[in-house]
Amino acid sequence: MVKSSAWDSVFTERMSRYYDEMKWLYGELYHGDEQAFDYFCSMLYRNYRDRSRELKQLDEAREVVTDWYKDGSLTGMLMYTQCFAGNLKGVRKHLDYIRECGVNYVHLMPLLQSPAGRSDGGYAVADYRSVQPELGTMKDLAALTRACHENGMSVCLDFVMNHTSEDHEWARRAKAGEKEYQDRYFFFDNWDIPNQFERTVPQVFPQTAPGNFTWCEEAHKVVMTTFYPYQWDLNYRNPTVFNDMTDNMLYLCNQGIDVIRLDATPYIWKTLGTTCRNLPQVHTLVRIMHMACDIVCPGTLLLGEVVMEPSKVVPYFGTVDKPECHMLYNVTTMASTWHTVATHDVRLLKHQLETVFALPKQYTFLNYLRCHDDIGWGLDYQYLRQFGVEEVAHKKFLNDYFRGYIFGSDARGELYNDDPRLGDARLCGTTASLCGVEAAEYERDAGKLDWSLKLDIMLHAFLFTQSGIPVLYSGDEIAQLNDYTYHDDPLKWDDSRYLHRGAMKWDDAAKRNDPSTRQGKMFSAIRRMEKLREEHPVFHGEADIWIVETYNDHVLGIGRYYRGEKLIALFNFGDQDETAWINEHEEYRDLWTGEPRPARAVGIPSHDFAWLVTDYRAAAGNAAKGVEADDDNT
């Protein structure tokens, strides 16, 4: 390894672990460009040197306990800064509320400088080192992360790496004709090569942003824009792009960000004649970024946004010896959960969870019921076809159900990116509104409200039962409803995702301790689940987990075991009371009520759940005491 005299012993030791592999991979991508690689190494040291003493101390602690995020102690909350508290200082003022929610992992949605009306919710970044002015400054972000660390909280931030805004300095200079900056994107003199790309590259938004290229009038050239015309794809074949973007990522880490969410990870390498998705070079880039974090800021985690079924996202974890992403999203389970709510049939969810549960335990997923985005119905239709389910008709049924267009449905949602030609629309709405809470309150039907809240609570119990890190969408803890005011906003009216991105209702949050209110019932239920999860080792990330056969297509059964404690969790997705036909012989008690409850032919009311637990250690202890008592009597 080449060692600089400027490097200190800690950096040198970390670099020595990875130098050979990193140089090999970098040289493979960039044809042995020694100058670019030397710059990359010097950039790593500069970021290491600039890292604060407090963050370095945190790094040292996490190097000792490398699996600190896997022990089942993390509960996340995802939020838009402006919606939750107006700005970064507002979020800091509300840390007491976040802590009261039982949350110790805060995911701040995109907040870097982006042009108004052309940002896709902050995913078109104009400056990676500036916060959107109305949200605050980088100093405010660093102050917030510092306060979070003092409160035992980790902070996640999106890193939009596939593209920049057309307002980014690089893009502006490319428009002006500077070849160096045009080479940082994909520019073409005419449509010949772009048309060749179009033959094999799928469209992301065929209705709202058709095609993968846009004519740039200022440069009189065609530029690649996979997502929206104002989002220009970066050319990672250019080592300068990779060097500078990694530098930007590490700069954000040095502001105290603990988890970097790599946005649109599968898209970042482009090759003519392919789909430009999931190419081998993507994994090389992510692996180098992982090593860069291990060298500069080993307390930092990489979270990959990879929207595919679990068995296909596994390569993005890398291997035990050569890891890539520390965590990935469990996207398919979210969609399958809502399918199950609509159909009352758990078979698809069971099938999908069996795949997830069979994966090695070192794989950590983030689980959620709702996120900032729409719900896409990318279900396993090959599996569903055996039950007579056809894709187009089923998508229409699901979208009709969750808009309340089907008799018996109280859900309230809206379509996103409707494509009538393909019958392929996605869905928006808050968890509570999709569960029927909004309709029940509108109708002032107390019975229907309780029934809808039971569904909402049951879904959160299912969320907390899965292995990985549960993430709440801000507002779900008080069953916040859809926000229809976006229809009147000229910058938002054509994007129905703002239906569930409404401002935090602090007047509603003030009712969280009133058990007679919707907010109080939801808040107390979630807090109770979190406390039970903290108290019982069976929820540990290393627990064995499996599907429990209930012999009832309306009732999902999940088993967990860890260090002598066993949990049987049952969830009734049906609209009638059901029986889980299980026959477990141990003595169980209901975690929710604390009362003994046999795990045999368990009755579960509609929209309800049961957490049944047995402790083999306690049973063995009681048996030993019984033997001692018998000996004494003898």
Catalytic residue numbers?
A: 263, 305
Q: Residue 442's CB: how many other CB atoms inside 10 A?
A: 11
Under 8 Å between Cβ of 318 and 349: no
Reference 304, options 363, 380, 224; nearest CA is: 363
| Alpha-carbon dihedral sign for residues 219, 225, 231, 233 | negative
- % helix, strand, coil for the chain, step of 5: 45, 20, 40
CA 565 → CA 73, 535, 587, distances in Å?
A: 17, 12, 12
Reference 561, options 519, 612, 517; nearest CA is: 612
What is the rounded CA–CA span in Å between residue 483 and residue 525? 23
Q: How many residues does the chain have?
A: 634
Structure tokens at 227: 């997502």
What letter represents residue 266's amino acid? P
Please list the residues that pair with 596 across neighbouring strands. 589
Q: Provide DSSP, 559-595.
A: EEEETTEEEEEEEE-SSS-EEEEEE--S--EETTT-S
End-to-end CA distance of the chain: 74
Kindly give, in sequence order, each residue whose CB lies less than 8 Å from that of residue 244, ignoring residues fewer than 6 positions away: none
CA 100 to centroid of chain Cα atoms: 22
CA 552 to centroid of chain Cα atoms: 31
